[in-house]
Structures are given as C-alpha cells and as structure tokens.
Structure 1
Amino acid sequence: MSTEAQIDAALEAVVTAARRHRAVLQSGASEERIWRAYVALNNATVRYDDLISEVYDEVTPWDCEYLEADGDPESAPPAPIRPTGGVPVGDGAVMVSVRHRRDYVIPEPTRLLTLATEARRTSWAAVDSTHAARPVTDVGEAVNELVQAGDGTVAALDAYPEDLVPGNGVLVVNALHRPLTFAEAPASDGPDPLLLGPDEAQLYRMDEEIVDEDSIEEPVPAPRDPVPGSAARLW
C-alpha cells in the first residue's frame, strides 16, 4: 500500500472513530463502551499524526499518545453472571432468541482490506505490535476486524456504508428452552448455535427489504404475523 493510501486510510479511520465516539455518547452507553470508543478515537488520531509527521514533517493540533483499551480499571464492569442451565419459568420468565441476518455487497474488496488493516493497526498498536502489523488478507477477516474495532456488534458496520453496502435482511424471534453457553475451548464441529432444537419454535419474523438496490437506503421493515400454534401461545 502506498504512503498516500496509508494516510487516506488513517484519516478515514479518524473520521469513523469520531463518529462512533459521538454515537456511543448519544446512546447513553456504559462507561466501558465510552472508554473504548475514546481510546479508538485517540489511537486513530495518533496514527494519523504519526504519518503526517513522517511524510510531510508537519504536525496536527492533536497532542495524544497511544492508550490501551484496558488501561482504566475503574471503568471495567463486573463480570456478567452466565446461566449454566435452563431458565426457570415458574415466576413467568421465558427465554427468546433474537437473530438478525443482514446481507452486504462489497464494491471494492481491496479497499475494504485496506480499511480493516488500518483499523487493526490503530486498535492493536498499543496492545500487540506484532498483530497490529499483520495485514488483513480476506473479506471475512476484514469484517471481523471492523466489528471488533467498533463496539463489537454488527452496528459497527454502519460506519462503512460505501464499502459494505447493506442489502436485504431478516429478523426472527425464536422461543428457546436452553441458553447459549460456551465451553473454554468450543469445538468448531459442534452443534450450530443458530439452529433450533426439536422443542423450540420461531415466534415472529420481520423482513427488511432494500427497495432501491442502486442506492443506500434504510431497510423497509415488512412485519409478519406471529407464528401460529401452541408454541406461540406460550410466549
């Protein structure tokens, strides 16, 4: 990648991190998420400042140094308590699974790899310099890197509407009887966590359709009636 391309990617990383930081503040997120968004913005500006200094021997108005995302122990929330068995229903509690699929078109895969490589460099520079220096080489890895560089959810991909053009999607709500749990070293060939068990059922489905596929538009929800049957009546 050329030096100018690196600078362009670093600048875009600053803009993306700034927008993400603002969105986190507006959402009333936890202190941990606010801190991580702050660190991402800080490190993106440091990376851009370093490149400007290296290439043009100039400086930016920002006076920042790399920060570690885990550097503020007071902001770390307590470890969540994860259930190990079925969820009791005696007090009226039930369990549902909300699953969301969204398709994307990648107009320029090479550009996406460049963005993800820069996101990795920014996110990992102060944590693992060896990993930070590794280029992203495939689109699956790129999407994962962009999600991790954001807030850790699919919503992080909304910051790249020109590089990940959203297509149709679907949201389903399923009735479950067993919680999702993770072993210390889950087997890759284990049960598919997205498949329903024989005693579980789909309760609701909402289709999200992109009306004009030639332009970036918000998806139009197409709600469906709840799934009939005895399972649906329990929820």
Structure 2
Amino acid sequence: MSDAAQPTAAEVRAAAEAVKAALDRHLAAVERRTGDDDKAVYEAFNALAAAAEEYDELLYDRYDEVTPFEIPGADGALPPYAGPDEPHALSLLIRRDYAVAEPQRLFAQARRVAELDGEADPTGTAARADVSPLAALGVLFGEYEPDEIASRHKEFGLEEGDSTLWVTAAEELPEPGEWLNAPFEHADPERIVCRFDVSSVFDEQEDDHEDEHDDGTYGVAAPTAAVDGS
C-alpha cells in the first residue's frame, strides 16, 4: 500500500477504541441474555467481529502488524429465530443433490417406466429416454415421489450428494398459487424452526476422530449418518 493510502495513527487508535467498546457491548449482552438464541448477543457478536476485522486491517496497513485474534465465523449458522411463537402454518424446503453416475441404468429404468405407461410412439418419451438424460429424468421424477427416488437412487443410476431440509414457520398458509412462480425466493432463515443437513463431509469428520474406550485403547469411530439439527 502506498504512503498516501495508509491509514493514520489516529485512525488505527480509533479502530482499537471501537474494538474495546464492542467488547464491552458484547459482554453486557451476554450478561443480560435471555436464552441460547438471544438476538442481542448475536448482534453484539457480529458488531465485535466487524470492529476486530477493521482494526486488524488498519493495523496491518499502518504498521505491518497483525492481531493474534481470530473471530470464529458463522458460516452455515442460523440467525436467531424471529418467526411467530405460535405458528399456524409451516413450510418444508427440501434440497437433494444427485450425480448421474450410471447413465445406461438411468435410461433403462426410464424406458421401462415409459413402456409400462403405454408409450408406444417410436418418437415419443420412451424413445427419447434412451438417449436423453433430461427425458429420462423427466420420466422417472414424473413417475416416482421424491422420497422413493431417494430410497431407490442406486436403481436409477444416481449417486447421492448433500441434502437439507428446512422447516419454517408462518402466521398463516399462503394463498393457493401464491408462491408457485418463485417457490424458494422468500425462504427466510430467521423463520427456521429446525434444519437437518446430510452430507458425506460429516462422515469424514467422524472418521477423523478416534473413539477412546474405557480400557484406554483407541479405535476409529464407526461412520454414522450425520444429521445436523439447528
């Protein structure tokens, strides 16, 4: 950074004072918190993180020094719940990822379904399902419920990726057709009642930790289906 663009010593000092003030506000919020999801604590934490980051940047730019502090990130964490205390409606938001691992198996299953449905047109869906992954997927997902696809994904030549389920609360049920054009546009993390994530990364984390037995020996913990409920 050029000398002209460097922050002044006074700016660095002001940033340090801002960190001190943010620390005091964070401690005060913690002392007054009303529960694990207290909004004031969450906001004070974010303010402290922002102040510390600003100070760290100015300190480095001015003096080429860094702080020993690292504010833990909140990536993936949910904000405090801000939905109704007594919801009269709820929504389930589901995402499941799949890889097309065996295209020929996918085509064969789609062709079988199309033929059973009486699709005899040689230029119709059954024919396209032999060569087009899009047509094959359309046939299978048109025939089976998503839960059945999930339980039988290997039969259809699919490989599971990550999945997540959000349960969100609302004051009332939306009007019919109200959100169909953009079903996920208004998903509000602050209205999540609970969330369940499934990912192979959780299994890998389990494998990285050894399980200590009562006799003092160690063994690798058995992988489990990792479900993270927030």
Same fold (TM over 0.5): no
Structure number with higher helix proportion? 2
Report the TM-score when normalising by structure 1: 0.41
Report the TM-score when normalising by structure 2: 0.42
